[in-house]
Amino acid sequence: MVSSNLVFASDEIAVSEEVLSSYYKEYFPLDPFIEWLGYRNDETLSRREFSFTLKDDVYTRFRSFTSKEELHQAFIKTKPEKIDIGAIYNYSCKHRLSPDFKEEQRELVFDIDISDYDDVRTCCQEARICQKCWPLMSICVKVLEETLKTAFGFEQILFVFSGRRGIHCWVFDEEARKLNGAERFALAHYCQVTAQQIGTSHRLHTHIQNALKITDLYWDEYLETQDLLGTEEGIDSFLKYVKLDDSIKNEWKEQMLKYDTTMERWSIFQQKRKEAQSKKYRDRLFIERIKIAVTYPRIDIKVTEGFNHLLKAPFSVHPKTGKVCVPFNADDVDSFDCDNVPTVFSLRKNDEELVKVIEKQEGDMSKKYYHGEMKESVKIFTDLLNQVFSE
Amino acid sequence: MLKLAFCKQPDLKQWFVRNEVNLFRYRFNKMSSKGKIRFFELSKFNLESIEKGEITGELEANLNDCSNITTASAKTWYRIPWTQVGRLVTRRSIFIDEGKAYVPEEDLIEFVVGKFRSECNRWLAGLAKKFDVMMENEQERLVPILKSFGNTIADADFSSTEGRLTINSIETMRKTSLPPCIRQLLDALQVDNKLKHDGRVHLWAFFKAAGMPLEDALKFTFTRMTAYANPEKEFKYNVRHVYGKEGGGKGVGAYGCSTKIKALPVEGQYQGCPFKHQRNLKQQLRNWGVKEVDIDKIKKKADDGHYQVACNQFFKSTHKDKEEKLDLITILHPNNFFDQSFDWNTGEHKLLKAEDTAKSEAMETSTYEPAWETTLPMSQAEKESQSQKEFEQDDFMEE
Ligand code: SF4
Ligand SMILES: [Zn+2]
């Protein structure tokens, strides 16, 4: 077999097959998971596409399962390193060659990677993420939640830590599941504001105003901790978004360089903004433009647009960090600590204690994932399912 | 008749619907405002209009802000599910609340056009179902005529003459004439000395259609996929299979742009269309020597979802002379990119030779570009190749 020549950075541990298989056997919340994917119907389940990435990067699409047991067996037998979830089709994936085989339902999904924010982070780069740059993810969660709820009227929304470098968002509402390709395209583009879209002096769309309100909850602190205006390049990177003549911008820059701290330099921008209001400058929206450029959610639009795009399943395990992709509450996003999520290793370590706890339990409650480290995230998930099925 | 010819081919169907929709939009715009009012009365859309008195305070502010106007309260507004005015949502030019879009009267056309488009699609889908039954009785009379309509685009054979691409010319061709999607595979191969399964199959199928002799394809594989312990043993069968020399089939046909655009490459896979899947498109283009002025143009097209148009521009930017004629180039398929480029560089391109006939032909096909709005199931051919791939993949896993 082909040897994989991956080089792991120091914080990456490859998860062994044995550890994975015991996770799937004992901690993976299979019952609610299956309930969700088939919406309590085994026939629907059998039309849902699964994709497994196995050892040595062997990648298989269009798997489908007709029951919980079958999926359970497949997990244990193949120990997938990655599980992706696709659409529910009109036929079982076994009949995917039929000429009218097509997507029928698919949760609306969003995928955000912190590595897309490297130009506005000084603390980490690429896949790394820490408490200092997490506010960017907080902003994403809040903007998405607000937009999906108030504008589009969706209610059943799940946010999931993607295991390493970002977040996923799943919308379970039936209307969301049944959106067609064109509708997904429209929604995705609605949720993709760019700095270029902010003109120099017009009314801002309600969606953009709302996003800016959320940004403002974090802005000053983020600016300061990241020290975004600490260097000359930093100042330039902001000035780039000001639509005024270079001579004016150079003048501003000189004024800023007389100060040392990011916050003092930012106050120059604010002062200029006040002057702009009195029509001194043509561009009156540069503050808004900068904030959008730095903090507006950078969603991977292809994922949201696609009807059959695959996305990593909640509760799967990141093959390098061993972290479980846990759901979390949007309201608690600020205190979410991505270095403190359950990992296959921590679950193992605390296993003995947990065994004692579940000995006293009966029936469903004797499942390990209803207790200990997994408890909270499983509860978020099952609460949402209850909401889905109570309709 | 046209409807019949097009209903079975997803790409052609898109093209057909888009043209019908444009025509409809044009006619609708030409209507007098009285005519429009009459039209709405007749069509019984049951639109929910908003009482004038309701447009005050916060709602008024929102309507003004979202449409960038100051006159919201003077207009007539309708409340429509956002899914029925997709274009307005895409442009973010309306206020949406609780799933309802607030549409001013002058934008109602988007709603009407949307209705028309879905009717058109539904109608063609119904027609496709009846098509097979009907054709049984019409084999002799209609089928040849219909085929000649559709063939021009969808079924054209993009194979080159044998020997057009060889192992000796591939490195030069890579810089001058290979399509971006194939360059991307070769780039990845150069770095890693390996490719994932789908990437290999795409590459071999391209080689075959580009006229590369089987021996050359084998030699290329053995000398370049060196990350595998024994490429000869591992891939000999597969390459021969793609070339139709094993397994009793015709071999694998080269993958078209729409397959590549619809592909879902995961990290480490490169078989897609770079204009759709390459996250770092600009850098990639720079590496391929595209001029900075062109990069932005290409990127813009790609961002707007016009992947094949971006590819046309790439072609234009990487070929010399006769700019006005380069504008007329339309790429229909990766192998067609290769052929056209080869012909262009050797002065054999039909646009360079025959003046007017070639021009009008190219004009006709250049209206073809994937529509933004339609997602369609895979075509039969694509499905077959998909199953082929998975079949092979299963084999592969057992090794
Ligand atoms: S548009 Fe077609 S030929 Fe051009 S890169 Fe994409 S797939 Fe290849
Ligand atoms: Zn950080």
Residue A344 counted as domain residue:
yes
Do residues A216 and A324 both lie within one domain?
A: no
The structural domains of chain B, with segments of one domain joined by +, span: 2-114, 170-342
Q: Do A204 and A159 share a structural domain?
A: no
Q: Comparing A242-251, B140-149, B208-217, B278-287, which segment has the lowest mean pLDDT?
A: B140-149
Name the least confident of B109-118, B159-168, B175-184. Answer: B109-118
Q: Which of residues 212-231 of B touch A (CB under 8 A)?
A: 227-229
Contact A177, A108 (CB under 8 A): yes
Tell me whether residues B97 and A150 touch, CB distance under 8 A: yes
Nearest ligand to the C-alpha atom of residue B259: 1
Q: Which ligand is nearest to the CA of B278?
A: 1
Residue pLDDT, tens place only, A154-205: 999 999 999 888 999 999 999 999 999 989 999 999 999 999 999 888 889 9
CATH code of residue A380: 3.90.920.10
- What is the least distance, in Å, from the CA of A275 to any CA of chain B? 23
B2-114 carries CATH number 3.30.70.600: no
Q: What is the predicted pLDDT for the residue at A202?
A: 84
Given A295, A314, A346, the domain boundary residue is: A295
Residues of B with Cβ-Cβ distance to A102 under 8 angstroms: 377
Asked if the C-beta of B366 comes within 8 angstroms of chain A's C-beta atoms, the answer is no
Q: Which residue out of A59, A97, A206, A318 would a mutagenesis test of the B interface target, given it has the greatest number of B Cβ atoms within 10 Å?
A: A206
Are the C-beta atoms of B361 and B353 separated by less than 8 Å? no
Q: How many Å apart are CA A180 and CA B28, to the nearest integer? A: 26
Question: How many CB atoms are located within 10 Å of the residue B365 CB?
Answer: 12
Q: Which strand ranges, in their side-by-side order, compose the sheet holding A166-171?
A: A108-113, A166-171, A157-161, A327-328
| List of chain B residues whose C-beta atoms are within 8 Å of the C-beta of residue A150 | 97-98
A295, A322, A347 - which closes a domain: A295
Shared domain for A218 and A351, answered yes or no, is no
Q: What is the ipTM metric for this complex?
A: 0.89
Q: Is residue A3 part of a domain?
A: no
Task: Lowest mean pLDDT of A102-116, A356-370, B12-26, B44-58, name the range.
Answer: B12-26
When mean pLDDT is compared across B16-20, B87-91, B256-260, B367-371, the lowest value belongs to B367-371
Q: Where residue B372 falls among pLDDT bands split at 50, 70, 90?
A: very low
Which residues, other chains included, contact B272 with Cβ-Cβ below 8 Å and sequence gap of 6+? B181, B260, B261, B263, B264, B265, B278
Tell me whether residue A321 is in a domain: yes
pLDDT digits (tens, 9 = 90+) for A251-296: 999 999 999 999 999 999 999 998 887 778 889 999 999 999 999 9
Same domain? A230 vs A304:
no
Mean pLDDT of chain B: 75
* Domain carrying residue A260: 195-295
Strand partners, A63: A50
Q: Which of A89, A183, A308 to mutate against chain B (most B CBs within 10 Å)?
A: A183
Last residue in a domain, options A295, A313, A340: A295
* Judgement on whether residues A61 and A180 belong to the same structural domain of the protein: yes
Q: What is the pTM of this model?
A: 0.65
Confidence label for B244 from pLDDT (cuts 50, 70 and 90):
confident
Are residues A199 and A186 both part of a single domain?
no
| Residues in Cβ contact with A59 at an 8 Å cutoff, skipping those fewer than 6 apart | A51, A52, A53, B196, B197, B266, B269
* Residue of B87, B268, B372 lying closest to A57 (CB–CB): B268
Please check whether residue A4 lies inside any domain of the structure. Answer: no
| pLDDT single digits (tens) B195-205 | 888 889 889 99
Which region among A116-125, B280-289, B390-399 has the lowest average model confidence (pLDDT)?
B390-399
> Is the confidence at residue A3, as pLDDT, over 80?
no
Q: How confident is the model at residue B392 (pLDDT cuts 50, 70, 90)?
A: very low
Structure tokens given for A315: 């509760």
Best residue of B7, B64, B65 to probe chain A, by most A CBs closer than 10 Å: B65
Shared-domain flag, residues A270 and A158: no
A160 shares a domain with A289: no
More confident call, B288 vs A11: B288
Q: Give residue ranges with CB within 6 A of ligand 1.
A: B 179-181, 257, 260, 273-275, 307-308, 311, 331, 334, 337
Query: Which is more confidently placed, A57 or A53?
Result: A53
How would you classify the pairing of strands B77-81 and B95-97? unpaired
Check whether residue A164 and residue A205 sit in a common domain: no
- The whole-angstrom separation of Cα B112 and Cα B116 is 6
Which residues in chain B are contacts of A209 at CB distance < 8 A? Answer: 65
Predicted confidence band at B330 (pLDDT cuts at 50, 70, 90)? Answer: confident
Buried b (16+ CB within 10 A) or exposed e, B312-338: bbbbbbbbeeeeebbebbbbbbbbbbb
Looking at the complex, report in whole angstroms how far the Cα of residue B363 sits from the nearest Cα belonging to chain A. Answer: 28
Residue A99 maps to a domain:
yes
Q: Locate the ligand 1 atom nearest the alpha carbon of residue B180 and give its number.
A: 5
Q: Give B163→chain A minimum CA distance, Å.
A: 32
Asked if B89 lies within 8 A of A187 by C-beta distance, the reply is yes
Q: Which residues of A are marked as active site?
A: 49, 111, 113
pLDDT at A33: 96
Whether the pLDDT of residue B280 is over 90: the answer is: no
What local confidence, expressed as pLDDT, does residue B6 receive? 53
What burial class does residue A129 get, using C-beta atoms within 10 Å of its C-beta: 0-12 exposed, 13-18 middle, 19+ buried?
Answer: buried
Share of chain A above pLDDT 90, in %: 70
Together in a domain, A324 and A385: yes
Residue A7, in any domain of the structure: no
Residue with the larger pLDDT of the pair B121 and B343: B343
Q: Count of domains in chain A? A: 2
Q: How far apart are CA A288 and CA A283, in angstroms?
A: 11
